[in-house]
Structures are given as structure tokens and as C-alpha cells.
Amino acid sequence: MGFVDFLATLGEYLPAVTKPKDRPSLATKLLWSFIAVIVYLVMASIPLYGVTSANSFLSNFLAEEIIFASTQGTLAQLGIGPIITSGLIMQILVGSKLIQMDLAKEEDQARFTEAEKGLAFVFILVESALFGYVFTRTAGNIELSAIVTVQLIVATYIILLLDEMIQKGWGLGSGISLFILAGVTKIMFWDMFGIAAVSNQNLPVGFFPVLISDIVSGKNILSLIVNTSTTTPFQPDLVGLISTIGLIILIIYLTNINIQIPVTTQRLRGIKTTIPLNFLYVSSIPVIFVSVLGADFQLFASLASYISSPASTVLTDIANAFFFPPANVPHSVFALVVDPIGAAIYAVVFIVLSIIFGILWIDVAGLDPATQAQQMVEAGMEIPGMRNSPKVIEGILARYIYPLGFYSSLIVGVIAVLATFLGVYGTGVGILLAVTIAIQYYNLLAYERTLEMYPLLKRIIGE
């Protein structure tokens, strides 16, 4: 039995959610999606029993909290991290042909899903044990470490089941997207309207409560334009608010730009159509990889401090290049004045790695010209005036795909860096994820609503 077969077998024996027998109505899907979000938010608000050092260990993990929809020191400490990590690893293994699976076949697709679930459970066990040890290391109590580990295993597996419930048709879209959107929205809402600071999550008092308080008490509100305080480095300011609105509009605009490639089909001769390639071809994948890589360096640096001080120092120096601004420096445009060299290093590292990861993702995720050309030929599509050969179509697509991959990776990297420099609410990576997910849900809601209004379409498309 191979490793993938072992994971698939493990996934089959784990508790699972069954698919609905009949297609649920839109109202039912919205209800179950709402319930899943409420359960996730409740878990993200319940502290882990026995944990007192979460803040000291994970003080700079805001980027990972955004990507993994996690919350420090709570039952949602791991969030969707194990699910995303297992999914990315399995996709890379399949895309790079390291494991032979044809996801077009129903049998291989089911095996892939079960293996992905099994791998996610392995990550849940490992990460829960790791965090259970780290959170209770000062107490030196094995029983307390076991209690924290069990809490994390149960809570994270519940999150996995919520994601599985939504993906199997009970809800809309995927639980991963829904939880990320909920997490980013919560942080943005708190940055604007939070009435109290939550120190262990780096959540300050919101901009508008501070503004109202300063006006009522007669204080100078000019200090709210740009945060220059080292005592409240995470305090939102006016520049960050305006930048947040501007970047959301920019991302929506870029997301709706498509490059149209003219094609015809063999079944409908004479009828021409187009295949759209999104201008942000690799979406926000590059900045996700860069952020996760930096967060992993931080994690390893923290763990290495208990094993080897020199190794911890090296890892910390590397991790610092992935994050800006440094500790106790205002998270605003003022940080550029305080640490311009650190800002330049951060920008170069983040943008260059975004481009590298974006190009690599095209090849390993099946977005490369060769794979796309083969899919077009198998679907009976052809480019007018060109021979219906995969090699010919691949040459045409290569003119579009690789430049799109490069420029889209560059653009999302620059947006994330600028967002960090301007102190946007919810971080640049968070805004990129939230806006793209919100657009996907808007299109999904429109699709579901159309099917309910015109039931005949269900038969036509096989729903």
C-alpha cells in the first residue's frame, strides 16, 4: 500500500458528512452556511483551557491568522491551516505528476478527496501536539499539554467537518473561503468599529470610536490622520481607511478584467465564442505562499530558540524580511520614515518571491499552456485559422498565459506591499482574499438564484 493509498484509507474511516439526497434550496444552503459561520466565530471566541502564553508565542502571526482563518489562543487556533496545507500539497503532487491521478475520473477524484482528508487529519494531529507543547512549556505539565492538544484536535476537526458539509452541497461554495472571508471581515470591522482592544489578537480600539471619543473630549484629531504612536502601533488611522476603500475598488476592477481568446467548437461549426483568461491569472496564490513561508520561518525560529540559539537567530533574521513593520513601530505609512531600509528589504523579498511562486504555480497547478491546450482539444475547441493540434494551440496560449502569470504575480505582490505600507485594515493579503472570495460568492448567488427562477435550466445543465 502506497502513501496516498494509506491516506485515502485513513480518510475513509474518519467521521464524515453525507451528501444531501436532493439538491437543497438556496434558502437552505444559506441557512447551513450561516450556521457554519456562527459555529466558527463562536469557536474563534472561546479561549483554550490552560493556555496563558499564546500572545507571547504568536505575537506577529497576523498574516497567518488571515490566511488560515485562525485566532490566537482560542479553539480556532489552527483554523483551516491543516486543510489548506494538505490541499496545496496534494494539488502540487498531482500537478507535478509525482503521483499518478486523473481527476477527470470519478474514482481517482474520490481517492484524491479521501487522501486529502487523511493528510489534513495527520496535520491536525501533528500541529495540535506541537502547539499543545509550546503553549504549556512554561508549566512543564504533561497532562495540561495533553488537554490543550485534545482541545485543538477536536475543534479543528469540527472545522474540517463544517468545510466538508458546505462543499458536499449543504451550503454555498466552500467552508475554507467562507471562514477566510468571515475572519478578514471581523478584523476589518474591528479596525473600524471595535470598542475595546484585544491585545492577544493585536486588535485595537476601532478608528471611529477613537474619532468620536477625541471629538467629544476636545482632543486634537489630527493625530488620527497618520498613526505615529509606538505605544499603540496597531491603531487604525485615516490614511489606512482611505487606502482600504481605494484598494478594494482597485482589486474589484482588476478582477473583472479578462483577456478574450477567440475559439470555435467542432459541434457548432460557424459559431465563434471566446475563452476568458482573467487578468489576475494566478489570483492571490503567490502572496498566500509568501505569507505562509514567512509565518513558517517565524514558527521554526520560535521552536529553535529552545534547541539552538544560533539557529534561532538566523531563522529570526530570515523571518523578519517577510514582515513589516517591526515590533513597536506604528503599522502605518509612518513606518516608512522610521525604517526605510527594512521597508525596501521587505518589498524586494515579497515581490520577487510572489513572482517566483506565481510562475511555479502555473506549472504545478495545471494552468500551463500545455495542459490548457490539451483540455481545449479534448473539449472539441479550436482557434480559428489554426490547426487543431495541442502543440499549435499551446504555442498560442503561451503568448498569453506566461505574461499574464508574471504580471498578475507582480501586481498582487505590489498591492500587498503597498497595502502594508499604507496600513490598510485587514492587511493587504486579507483584502486580496476577501474581495476575490466575495466576488466568487456574488457570482455563485446569482447562479443559484437563476436556477431557482428557471427550473428547466437544471435539466439542461444536469443539476
Vertex 460, ends 455 and 463: CA angle to 5°? 70
Residue-level pLDDT at 65? 76
Q: How far apart are CA 179 and CA 183, in angstroms?
A: 6
Strands 381-382 and 272-278: unpaired
430: closest CA among 191, 88, 195? 191
- The CATH number for 1-184, chosen from 1.25.40.80, 1.10.3370.10, 3.30.413.10, 3.30.70.2190, is 1.10.3370.10
Question: Alpha-carbon Rg of the chain, whole angstroms?
Answer: 24
Domains 1-184 and 213-463 share a fold: yes
Q: How far apart are CA 199 and CA 346, in angstroms?
A: 25
Residue-level pLDDT at 108? 78
Where are the domains positioned within the chain?
1-184, 213-463
Q: Three-class SS string for the chain?
A: CCHHHHHHHHHHHCCCCCCCCCCCCHHHHHHHHHHHHHHHHHHCCCECCCCCCHHHHCCCCHHHHHHHCCCCCECCCCCCHHHHHHHHHHHHHHHCCCCCCCCCCHHHHHHHHHHHHHHHHHHHHHHHHHHHHHHCCCCCCHHHHHHHHHHHHHHHHHHHHHHHHHHHHHCCCCHHHHHHHHHHHHHHHHHHHCCCCEHHHCECCCHHHHHHHHHHHCCCHHHHCCCCCCCCCCCCCHHHHHHHHHHHHHHHHHHCCEEEEEEEECCCCCCEEEEEEECCCCCCHHHHHHHHHHHHHHHHHHHHCCCCHHHHHHHHHHHHCCCCCCCCCCCCCCHHHHCHHHHHHHHHHHHHHHHHHHHHHHHHCCCCHHHHHHHHHHCCEECCCCCCCHHHHHHHHHHHHHHHHHHHHHHHHHHHHHHHHHCCCCCHHHHHHHHHHHHHHHHHHHHHHHHHHCCHHHHHHCC
Residue-level pLDDT at 411? 93
CATH topology of domain 213-463: Preprotein translocase SecY subunit (1.10.3370)
For residue 253, give the C-alpha cell.
476592477
Encode the chain (463 residues) as per-residue pLDDT tens digits: 577 888 888 888 888 888 888 888 888 999 999 999 999 999 988 888 887 654 445 545 666 677 788 888 889 888 888 888 888 788 778 777 777 777 667 787 788 888 889 999 999 998 898 888 878 777 667 888 899 999 999 999 999 999 999 988 888 888 888 888 888 888 889 889 988 877 666 678 888 998 898 888 888 788 788 888 877 788 888 999 999 999 999 999 998 888 887 776 665 565 677 778 888 888 888 888 888 788 777 777 776 776 677 877 888 888 888 888 887 788 888 889 888 998 999 999 999 999 998 988 887 777 888 887 777 777 677 776 666 677 777 788 888 888 888 999 999 999 999 998 998 998 888 888 888 888 888 888 888 888 777 776 666 555 5
**153 neighbors 45 (Cβ within 8 angstroms):** no
Q: How far apart are CA 345 and CA 355, in angstroms?
A: 16
Residue-level pLDDT at 56? 47
